[in-house]
Structure 1
Amino acid sequence: MSPRQVLGKIGLWCAVFIVVSPAILFFLWMASLSIKFEIDNAAYPPVFLPEHFAWKNYADVLASNRFVTYFINSLLVTGTATLLAMLVGVPAGYGIARMSAHKSAVVILIARITPGLSYLVPLFLLFQWLGLLGTLWPQIIIHLVVTVPIVIWIMIGYFETTPLELEEAAFIDGATRWQVFWHVALPIARPGLAVAFILAVIFSWNNFVFGIVLAGRETRTLPVAVYNMISFDQLSWGPLAAAALIVTLPVLLLTVFAQRQIVAGLTAGAVKGG
């Protein structure tokens, strides 16, 4: 290995460390806050690891009367929005890729990068007129604004890289377009499906703005529940950090266990569609 290559690798690792270290530091500090008593959280100079761990912070959060309800709400909203996005987005991505509908792909990209707040006000008025405010349906529907463009855009890029020869052979054997899509295209696109599913789950689970506007007292999701723990009278950093860590943990574990699929899917789809 030449000196230039060694310097290049060192520079790359330094750049990665600079980019990643703030996120790691913030996560470790949040974990530290979650296992400390309030007197340790308010200590100066700051204490990173206390002598006695305050596991009571986690117990208090999990024992909360509404935590289980909010957790179930998050599962229902995220699960339903992701499932509907996959049912709609995967066939749409396949159709756009095979028809080379580049203008449609640009429209999907614009919908993806448009801030969700742009849709929030008109949809809020619509849900209010329909009498759906305070239920889970407005959150599920508006989460589709986020998840569907993600799925379509990823699948467009992935289907554009899959070989057409196999599909053409299936057509010659008498298969219909639906049979080709179901039996030929989908099995090849499994890495792309995994990436689309995981990213849709992450963006839906972490969404905060839609939930705080459209949710009622019994239909809040976990990010909104954590926000509601902030009080002007008293702010308990330990339980707040514990709740934030619990909300982050499912997505974090999903990302860690599926990192290979994410990298493989994004790399494959980036050749033409990225």
Structure 2
Amino acid sequence: MRLSTPFRVFRLVALVLVLVGLLAPLLWMVAASFKTNVDIYDPGKAVVFSPTTANYTTVLKQANYVQFIVNSLWVALASTALSLVLGVPAAYSMARFTMKRSALVVLMARVIPGVSLLVPWYYVFSNLRMVGGYSVLILSHMFVALPLIVYIMMGYFEGLPDELEEAGLVDGLTPIGAFRRITLPLSLPGIATAGILSFIFSWNNFMFALVLSGAQTKTLPVAIFDFVGYASIDWGGLMAASTVVTVPIMVIALFAQKYVVSGLTAGATKG
């Protein structure tokens, strides 16, 4: 069915408007990261200006952002890996044995607002002398990543035919062996999807790290606010730091887009 010319024009205009609305703030952020604070406040230099890398020098050398990047990577990778190790077998059990009540408990953990847990967490972890360490950040990020992984993988496992595992059992595999040798390899797209989404959440998380991190364990979203002072804001440094936080996630999202889409839709049909 061919689309009429007015409709095609309307669709093109709508797509351009959406792209401009989505990309304009990102482009302004990147451009501002190469400006001085004086140029940022000057409307006449919104497009034409003399670029400078001083903001990135401040971020990467003087502000110790390399350490904060390492902190974010460590917390994101550790919380994602541990959540996958715990969440994938849990999702398989809930999907195969129809554990509706357990799934409901996991859903409640996903629905509860994280801000309502910050005060109890801080009280408990401070008494355990864990506040300011990596372990408390990893555990707090797992609280959201684990239910996300469980729900993604439950839909994926429910979409895999039971006959594949039954054939493995007939051939002499144990239930655990059938899961490890048959189901787990087939579920790699779903695992990749869950892992990517969990990593992105952990990398971007601000609220948990703001309350539970220390001076040496700050992650990038928290470290950005070092450029916000009581009397003034270093907009150039702030935009450079924001670019450092945003660009890696955008690159990961662009390259992993097809895997995320395939993993999310793979469990949509059964059989």
Q: TM (normalized to structure 2)? A: 0.92
Match 2:132 to one of 109, 131, 134: 134
* Equivalent residues in 2 for 1:88-99, closer than 5 Å: 88-99=86-97
User: Could you tell me which residue of structure 2 aligns to residue 241 of structure 1?
Assistant: 239
Q: Which residue identity is paired with 2:31?
A: S
The SS at the match of 2:147 is helix
User: Could you tell me which residue of structure 2 aligns to residue 76 of structure 1?
Assistant: 74
User: Could you tell me which residue of structure 2 aligns to residue 161 of structure 1?
Assistant: 159
Deviation at 1:201, TM superposition (A): 0.1
Q: Matches of 1:50 and 1:208 in 2, distance apart?
A: 34
Q: Is the 8 A contact 1:157 1:271 kept in 2?
A: no
Does residue 28 in structure 1 map to residue 30 in structure 2? no
Deviation at 1:21, TM superposition (A): 3.9
Q: Which residue identity is paired with 1:36?
A: K
Q: Is the 8 A contact 1:167 1:185 kept in 2?
A: yes
Q: Matches of 1:92 and 1:13 in 2, distance apart?
A: 45
Deviation at 1:123, TM superposition (A): 1.4
Deviation at 1:61, TM superposition (A): 0.8
- Of stretches 132-141 and 104-113 in structure 1, the one that deviates more from structure 2 is 104-113
Q: Matches of 1:5 and 1:115 in 2, distance apart?
A: 47
Deviation at 1:205, TM superposition (A): 0.7
User: Could you tell me which residue of structure 2 aligns to residue 225 of structure 1?
Assistant: 223
User: Could you tell me which residue of structure 1 aligns to residue 169 of structure 2?
Assistant: 171
- Percentage identity across aligned positions? 39
Match 1:114 to one of 105, 112, 115: 112
- CA distance 1:240–1:65, change in 2 (3 Å): closer
* Equivalent residues in 2 for 1:245-256, closer than 5 Å: 245-256=243-254
The SS at the match of 1:110 is helix
Q: Matches of 1:258 and 1:133 in 2, distance apart?
A: 34
Q: Matches of 1:114 and 1:178 in 2, distance apart?
A: 33
- CA distance 1:107–1:20, change in 2 (3 Å): farther
Deviation at 1:251, TM superposition (A): 1.3
Q: Which residue identity is paired with 1:131?
A: R
* Equivalent residues in 2 for 1:46-85, closer than 5 Å: 47-85=45-83
Q: Which residue identity is paired with 1:201?
A: F
Q: How many residues align?
A: 270
Deviation at 1:65, TM superposition (A): 4.6
Does residue 40 in structure 1 map to residue 42 in structure 2? no
Q: Is the 8 A contact 1:61 1:239 kept in 2?
A: yes
Q: Which residue identity is paired with 1:96?
A: M
Deviation at 1:19, TM superposition (A): 5.0
Q: Is the 8 A contact 1:36 1:50 kept in 2?
A: no
Is there any run of 5+ residues in structure 2 with no aligned partner, and where?
A: none
Deviation at 1:76, TM superposition (A): 1.4
Deviation at 1:98, TM superposition (A): 0.6
- CA distance 1:42–1:5, change in 2 (3 Å): closer
Does residue 208 in structure 1 map to residue 206 in structure 2? yes
Q: Matches of 1:11 and 1:159 in 2, distance apart?
A: 41
Q: Matches of 2:269 and 2:105 in 1, distance apart?
A: 20
Deviation at 1:44, TM superposition (A): 2.6
In the TM superposition, structure 1's runs of 4+ consecutive aligned residues that sit over 3 Å from their partners are 2-7, 9-21
Deviation at 1:93, TM superposition (A): 0.8
Deviation at 1:13, TM superposition (A): 6.1
Q: Is the 8 A contact 1:212 1:224 kept in 2?
A: yes
Deviation at 1:84, TM superposition (A): 0.4
- Of stretches 204-213 and 33-42 in structure 1, the one that deviates more from structure 2 is 33-42
User: Could you tell me which residue of structure 2 aligns to residue 187 of structure 1?
Assistant: 185
The SS at the match of 1:51 is coil
Deviation at 1:72, TM superposition (A): 1.4
Q: Which residue identity is paired with 2:87?
A: G
